[in-house]
Amino acid sequence: MKITADTSVLIRAAVQDDARQARQAAKVMQEADLVAVPIPVLCEFVWVLRRGYKRSVADISDAIHRLMDGANVVMNRPAVEAGLSVLGAGGDFADGIIAYEGDWLGAEEFVSFDSKSVSILQSQGSRARLLGVLGLKALTGFANGDPPDRSRTAQVTDHSRPEKSA
């Protein structure tokens, strides 16, 4: 059997916070001839471990390396290594992957409003450029950056439910 592992399966196997699901996750992954781990799954995996479970960068890196060491696990290893490199330098795993895949697709430069990501990628030898902050008009479409006065906007009636009669 060849499977694609969802983020929830990887989380259960790594965190072991639900014994029954952890056993099921480990069993299906061990019995599979091939376990495909798509890049978006790993991005979610890192995000959930960092934000939800408050795991350290070292713990997350170890979990990903253990997964990569699985004989039946396939993933875009160079992209994962790029993500781990940025994560290890204090940045976001996903930014490392984005920069790697952009390069692979033919991009010459990573551009972002995220100064930390740009700085880390530059320090690792990547071409990366910090974009300036756009004016509020460009971001919001409002001339002075303020939203329109809501008291003068038309009231919208929800016609999806019939009005209750009194």
DSSP assigned state of 108: S
What pTM, to 2 d.p., does this model score?
0.78
Per-residue pLDDT of the chain (166 residues; tens, 9 = 90+): 999 999 999 999 999 999 999 999 999 999 999 999 999 999 999 999 999 999 999 999 999 999 999 999 999 999 999 999 999 999 999 999 999 999 999 999 999 999 999 999 999 999 999 998 654 445 555 544 455 554 443 443 334 444 444 4
Contacts for 20 with CB less than 8 Å, ≥ 6 apart? none
pLDDT at 140: 53
**How high is the pLDDT of residue 139?**
52
* Residue 82: burial class (beta carbons within 10 Å; 0-12, 13-18, 19+): buried
What pLDDT score does 11 carry? 98
Q: How far is CA 144 from CA 39, 134, 137, 150, in A?
A: 41, 13, 6, 15
pLDDT at 141: 55
Strands 128-130 and 73-74: unpaired
Q: Where does 89-157 have alpha helices with state H?
A: 93-104, 115-123, 136-140
Q: What's the gap between Cα 5 and its chain centre?
A: 16
Q: How far apart are CA 53 and CA 4, in angstroms?
A: 23
